[in-house]
Amino acid sequence: MMTDHHIPLFEGLFNISEIQEIQDSFALATGVASIITDVSGRPITTPSNFCRLCRDIIRKTEKGLVNCMQSDSVIGRYHREGPVMQPCLSSGLWDAGVSIHVAGRHIANWLIGQVRNEDMDMNRIREYADIIGADRGAFVLALEEVTVMPLDQFKNVAKSLFLIANQLSEQAFQKSRNTRMVLDLKQKNADNDRLLEEMKKELEKRVKLEEEQRQMEARLRQSQKMEAIGTLAGGIAHDFNNILFPVIGFSEMVMEDLPKDSPLRDQMQAVLDGAFRARDLVRQILTFSRETEQKYFPLKLQLVLKEVLKLARASLPSTIKIISRIPDKVGMVMADPTLVHQVAMNLITNALSAMEENGGELSVTLSEMDVGNQGFHSSGMPPGSYVCLKITDTGSGMNEETQKRIFEPYFTTKDRGKGTGLGLAVVHGIVKKLQGEIVVKSEAGKGTVFFIYLPRIKADEADAPAKALCPGLPPRTENILVVDDEASVLKMLNQALSRLGCKVTCLSSSLKALDLFQQAPHAFDLVITDMTMPDLTGDKLISKIKKIRRDIPVILCSGFNETLLNEKVTGIRPDKILMKPLMKNELIQALGFLLDK
């Protein structure tokens, strides 16, 4: 049902130009004056066939105009039964009016009239000129021009107008109803569009939540996998480091005993280098498997890159050629070799993977460069000196969309099961951690270039940490208790400490060591203990020893990485933690730090 609020104005329902044409034709055909107004009396159309008496004389006087408007309001009142007819309250001429309505609402009036008939009192009409202050002569002349029409004929004209007005009312009603239906449909469409948009947003939200949940589950699985790898790697590292410890220790002692011109020195140095590579490999496994606390020191990237390329060449297909330009003169950076190894290994592995099908050429270049105030590669790098690692392949390349996402965690273009999507994300994280910048340039089908920029350190910074203890130190005379369940480790430490002048007591049982210490707590100046031992672990042994004698310095020596060790150590902490396999200089530094205070 339509309400008044929903019904448009007359101008909104009809074409006023067409209505004006109908009004003009009606006035011309019937000889009456005609006009359409709104319910307040405001004209909607232009007057048609108005007589000169009303237009130019009566309505030009103030009183005549007021009377005309009052008369129009009376004949224009809402009346559904037929036209309203009466003499004009101003001039006395015959007027009539019909209402145009829509669904019971009065929206306009159609007024006609300004005619006279033979029965009218002409004298009274002439006297009206004096009442309104008009010129009587002009008034009379204009009155003679007014259309003369029998009253019955005027009634028929008014009835015709009533029928026309009813048709207009019906037309207006239909149009108004159609307009309302269109508006309702538009509203329903708008509501439907809004509902569809809300449903779309809800679906997108659900899809996003499901994707986030999927990624979270993938991260959880990856985290659990890495945790399992970390636990396994920690155990392997502990055992492997226990094996390497005596290898390095005894090799160093042999090197000390060999004459400087002995041909065996080169062979022993090769043994030491191999042991150090094995030690670094264990650290890399631990770094990859779980987050470890990194320690940065001056590093020559050449050494790490040559080691990575040596590993890469071992599994290189014959269709791929490696070109390396790694000059020795390139400066140093402040970094951890295990992190740099991981960056280089990931990038080189990705490059080899991109050339797996069709072969190609891998180029690894190391150089120095200075960045001015404008930065470089639009990366916003701060000005300064950098070491640039450039890794180029002639593989499949990447489009722009892929390049935008390559550093996102879990994003991969490799087939399912062939990549985790973590490699480049890890590389990006490491480079940023080292205060560096990574830039990629690629084009689909034309290969890829990765640029790694790391801040180059000054010569004095590079030389600062390189303080090694040399032979010729005064001999030590302290009594040291060494506890380790590995016989080879005990034997090596016994000889190494004895060479320094220490008196060494070695025990493979932590319970026996505790019993001995309880019997003579002041017989020892320092205790060195392993962490993982049967019956009583190193941290528990330290707690018990410290309760007996709080001032006794204790070194905890373990094959676990420091982060894992910190998680395992409970109770009273040791004075110093050393990671197996340690070098002789590390042991000498620790003894000096604890015993020479």
pLDDT score recorded for residue 9: 78
CA 500 to chain CA centroid, nearest Å: 60
Determine, yes or no, domain membership for 136: yes
Q: Is the same domain home to 358 and 436?
A: yes
Residue 439 placed within a domain: yes
- Asked whether residue 417 is domain-assigned, the answer is yes
Q: Are residues 457 and 340 in the same domain?
A: yes
40 and 159 in a single domain? The answer is yes
Q: Specify if 360 maps to a domain.
A: yes
Q: What is the pTM of this model?
A: 0.46
Q: Are 521 and 514 in contact (CB under 8 A)?
A: no
Which of 463, 490, 519 terminates a domain? The answer is 463
Phi and psi angles of residue 207, each rounded to the nearest 5 degrees, phi first: -60, -40
Indicate the SS3 state at residue 544.
helix
Tokens encoding 490: 């005990």
- Check whether residue 435 and residue 558 sit in a common domain: no
Q: Examine the fold and report which residue of 182, 205, 229 is the final residue of a domain before the chain moves on.
A: 182
DSSP string, 377-409: TTS-PPSEEEEEEEEEE-S----HHHHHHTTST
Ramachandran angles phi, psi of 348, nearest 5°:
-70, -40
Give the whole-angstrom CA distance, residue 467 versus residue 298. Answer: 12
Domain of 392 in residue numbering reads as: 295-463
Q: Which helix (H) or strand (E) holds 122?
A: helix 122-132
In the chain, the N- to C-terminal Cα span, in Å, equals 100
Let me know whether 9 and 134 are in one domain: yes
Same domain, 422 and 449: yes
Beta strands in 130-279 (DSSP E): 147-148
Same domain, 337 and 394: yes
**For residue 80, what are its two tokens?**
């559904």
Say if residue 382 is preceded by a cis peptide, omega within 30 of 0. no
Helices (H), 437-486: 459-463
Query: Which CATH number fits the domain that encloses residue 345?
Result: 3.30.565.10
438 with 550, same domain: the answer is no
Is 355 exposed, middle or buried (CB count within 10 Å of its CB: 0-12, 13-18, 19+)? buried
My answer on whether 358 and 432 are in the same domain is yes
Which tokens in the block code for residue 353? 């993977």
In angstroms, what CA-CA distances link 478 with 288, 427, 593?
Answer: 40, 47, 14
Can you say how many angstroms the Cα of residue 245 is from the centroid of all Cα atoms in its chain? 49
**Both structure tokens of 573:** 């902490």
3-state DSSP assignment of residue 92: coil
For residue 3, the model assigns a pLDDT of 46
Specify the number of domains making up the chain.
Answer: 3
In a domain, 540, yes or no: yes
Considering the domain architecture, whether residues 520 and 377 belong to the same structural domain is answered as: no
Other residues' Cβ atoms within 10 Å of the Cβ of residue 129: 23
Q: What is the number of H-type helices and E-type strands within the chain?
A: 18, 17
Beta strands in 147-211 (DSSP E): 147-148
User: Alpha-carbon distance 527 to 481, whole Å?
Assistant: 5
Amino acid, res. 241: N
Q: What share of the chain is helix, strand, coil (3-state, %, to 5)?
A: 50, 20, 30
What is the bridge-based pairing of β-strands 147-148 and 105-116?
A: parallel
Has residue 190 been placed in a domain? no
Mean pLDDT in each 10-residue stretch from start to end of the chain (597 residues)?
A: 57 88 93 90 90 89 86 77 83 87 84 86 84 89 90 92 87 76 83 89 91 82 70 72 83 87 87 80 62 72 87 78 90 87 86 84 91 58 89 86 74 52 74 89 88 85 44 75 92 91 94 95 94 88 93 87 58 83 86 86
Compute the distance between CA of residue 84 and CA of residue 291 in angstroms, rounded to an integer: 98
Q: Which of 401, 428, 463 finishes a domain?
A: 463
Residue 579 is predicted with a pLDDT of: 82
218 part of a folded domain: no
Residue 435 near residue 455 (C-beta atoms within 8 A): yes
Instruction: Kindly state whether residue 526 falls inside one of the protein's structural domains.
Output: yes
Q: Do 79 and 21 sit in the same domain of this protein?
A: yes
Distances (CA, A) of 171 to 11, 14, 164, 230: 13, 9, 10, 85
- Cβ proximity of 326 and 271 under 8 Å: no
Helix H or strand E segment including 438: strand 437-442
CATH, residue 69? 3.30.450.20
Residues 365, 414, single domain; the answer is yes
DSSP string, 229-270: HHHHHHHHHHHHHHHHHHHHHHHHHHHHHS-TT-THHHHHHH
Residues 6 or more apart from 251 whose CB is under 8 A from it?
268, 271, 272, 275
Longest dimension (CA), the chain: 157
Supply the pLDDT for residue 467. 40
Neighbours of 278 (CB within 10 A): 17
CATH of the domain at 526: 3.40.50.2300
Tell me which residue of 428, 450, 432 sits closest to 440, measured CA to CA. Answer: 450
Contact criterion met (CB below 8 Å) for 573 and 549: no
